[in-house]
Amino acid sequence: MTDILQSLPVYLVLIAALLNLVRRQWTLNLIALLVQFICLFPILWKVLPLQLALIHPFTGLMVTLILYLTLLGVGGVKPINLRDPLSSGEVFRALAGVFLIATLRAFLPQIQQAVFPLVSSDHLFVSLGLVLIGLLQLGTIREPFYLAIGILTFLSGFELLYSALEFSYLLEALLVAVNLLLAIVGAFFIVKNAESEAL
Amino acid sequence: MNNTVMIFIVLPVLLGLGLVLIQRVSKLSAVLGSLFPLILAMLAVIFANGLTLNVLGRFFILDDSLVIFGRTIQITADQLGIIALFYFLCFAWNLLSGLFKVGQWFNSLSLIITALWVSVQFINPFLYSAVIIELIALISVPLLSPRGTPAKSGVIRFLSMQTIAMPLILMSGWMVAGIETSPSAEELINRGALLVIAGFSLWAGIFPLHSWLPMLTEESHPWVISFLMTIMQIGLAIFFLKFLNQYPWLRNLEEIKPVLKWIGVLCVVSAGVIAAFQKKLSRIVGYLYLAGTGNIVLTMAFQQQGWLDLLTIYLLPRALSYWSLGYAFSLLREALGSEQLDFSELTGLIWRYPLISVLLLGSFLNIIGMPLFSLFPAHRIIWSILASENLPIRLLMSLGLLGMITLFLRLLARVIQPPEIADQDKKERTIMIVPVILIVLLMVLGGLLPQIYSTPVQNLLISFQNLLR
């Protein structure tokens, strides 16, 4: 039971990332992004002191807020409709995402042994999982909002992995700046697209 | 403020932020945007002989380091030449920015971006610079994708590539951290080298990861993109030298030289062949940058033979070639009122715009590296070194050059083709003759007297002590 509870954030993070990869409903995606960032906290807390582990979820909260306010401004926030049938593209992305995660799980012991022997398997699984889902997102979309989510997911995975390897205040500060700037760039793109559609 | 880091990194960022506040006053913003980098470049030149300055008996002494979050950023006197080059580039592009519709953000963001490229070269541990390069990519977005148009695929792909590159570089440092104590050092070295090469390939858009380059040049204003790509190309080249200088395992790796050589050759040949078949000048700029990256990589491929000098004499003429090409393309864009600059629009250009045509053709001859032009001396050395290489390399390089010459001949044929009768009126202002003659003269003088460009920068890379031995 304890094992399941300890692994719960890992699976929640990956499910949230998969949801962002598959579904194209802005409100749902924002909630999933927030869940993804918040659930990283217990995983980070295992390798970092509390104050430092809080930085990433707190940044995520601000990033989500920036994107939410932008979407609100352009009228993009709509009620979530879970009954919408999946399109063929969504089915493809879901299958590709699940396949990637399953392949990662299968090869995780070998990767851990060969490259990251000091990183716990749960930590490695969730960080590489986020990196792969982020990459898949970047490779399959053109919409700016999903580009921002894809890059944020990719960077979250990398930051998680790097936090288990070494920690530097300067690097952490720079990565926070990257995350916030990314949210601003995402917001800039969303506004631009809304403006050009309105013309 | 008596610190090199404060003067050359923090202050320009603050000045850039200040320019954001006055960006609506475009003329003032353009003047200050040119003045600030010029002053910074001059200060860098003045302090390059030592961090002390005697003005009327009063001594100004600068510290050379600053500690931020427990990490040190250090800029010593012998590194100020690099800073002078960066700010001089920023000045050169800001100087003419007022002539074109480059967007209100150009002056402020170009100064901030230059300051960040300077910080990339001096942050310690230098691997963290990878994150700053990501910040630069993000800050460039308002320049690359101005408001009023939807976000296009070039800028999206550019951002994706820059983001993917960052972790590769950061991981390379961690990967080789325990190299001295590891029983299987060779494996770690290979992994580390692979990560470094892959990271730089994504950053610089090395063939076959270059697809974002022509897309981006097609979508953006030529003046903006020429600035961003020039400073990025030179910034990345110097940053890669830092890797070679700091990491003996990378510098002494047997495979590094042939790998760099092949990367350079593949970039040159792919750029030449693809550019020869292009129909839009705006896309061709991207391929010219790809060829430029290839040539810079080739100059570095010989660093183990003391060829750092070659890169040094190459940088300034290369920057001039991009500057003149960016100027010619921007003039053409404004004159024709076209963003894409399709070949069909250039028919009979020399009859309508003789000065722009001369500048365009001269810039092309210069960037290809033809005799009499400023890039020729450096290209001649590269070609003569490659003449002793194996047959496939010689053939591929010849093919790349042939592609570029074909492109020039296509352009020439189109430009001198007699136009329709109604189109024969000259539409150019006579005042243009002065800058055009000056720029062509600068290009030709560099070919006749190469020391004009090599002497000011001869000590540019002196801080890379391990590469000079």
The tens digit of pLDDT for each residue in A139-175 reads 887 788 888 899 999 999 999 998 888 888 888 889 9
For residue B182, pLDDT beyond 70: no
CA distances from B162 to B132, B192, B225, B438 (A): 11, 19, 16, 37
Domain annotation covers residue A15: yes
Contact A77, A27 (CB under 8 A): yes
Spatial distance between the Cα atoms of A38 and A59, rounded to a whole number of angstroms? 10
Spatial distance between the Cα atoms of B301 and B260, rounded to a whole number of angstroms? 5
Q: Which residues touch B8 (CB under 8 Å, ≥6 apart)? A: B40, B43, B44, B75, B80, B83, B87, B115, B118
Domain annotation covers residue A199: no
For residue A102, pLDDT beyond 80: yes
Q: What is the pLDDT of residue B421?
A: 61
Q: Which residues touch B406 (CB under 8 Å, ≥6 apart)? A: B276
Number of domains in chain A: 1
Mean of pLDDT over chain B = 86
Cα–Cα nearest to B407, from B379, B365, B374: B365
Contact A138 B164 (CB under 8 A): yes
Lowest-pLDDT choice from A103-117, B52-66, B78-92, B399-413? B52-66
Residue B325's Cβ-count burial label (10 Å; 0-12, 13-18, 19+) is buried
Spatial distance between the Cα atoms of B370 and B363, rounded to a whole number of angstroms? 10
Contact A170 B132 (CB under 8 A): no
Q: Tell the residue number behind the tokens 């100059």, with chain if given.
A: B299
Q: What confidence tier does B426 reach under pLDDT thresholds 50, 70, 90?
A: low
Q: What is the pLDDT of residue B290?
A: 94
Contact A158 B69 (CB under 8 A): no
CB of A108 less than 8 A from some CB of B: no
Among chain B residues, the shortest Cα distance to A166 is held by B174
Q: What is the pLDDT of residue A129?
A: 93
Q: What is the pLDDT of residue B300?
A: 85
Q: What is the pLDDT of residue A25?
A: 82
Q: What is the mean pLDDT of residues A22-50?
A: 88
Spatial distance between the Cα atoms of B317 and B367, rounded to a whole number of angstroms? 9
Other CB atoms closer than 10 Å to residue B62's CB: what's the count?
Answer: 21
Q: What is the pLDDT of residue B303?
A: 64
The tens digit of pLDDT for each residue in B336-365 reads 887 778 888 888 888 888 888 999 999 999
Q: What is the pLDDT of residue B111?
A: 93
The tens digit of pLDDT for each residue in B207-252 reads 888 889 999 998 889 999 999 999 999 999 999 988 888 888 888 8
CB of B469 less than 8 A from some CB of A: no
Spatial distance between the Cα atoms of A167 and B113, rounded to a whole number of angstroms? 27
Instruction: Tell which of B105, B141, B149, B174 to mutate to test the A interface (max A CBs under 10 Å).
Output: B141
DSSP assigned state of B127: G
Its pTM stands at: 0.91
Side chain identity at B335, as an amino acid letter?
A
Percent with pLDDT over 90 in chain A = 35
Domain annotation covers residue A55: yes
**A126 lies in which domain range?**
2-194
For residue B305, pLDDT beyond 60: no
Instruction: Tell which of B68, B105, B127, B134 to mutate to test the A interface (max A CBs under 10 Å).
Output: B134
For residue B153, pLDDT beyond 90: no
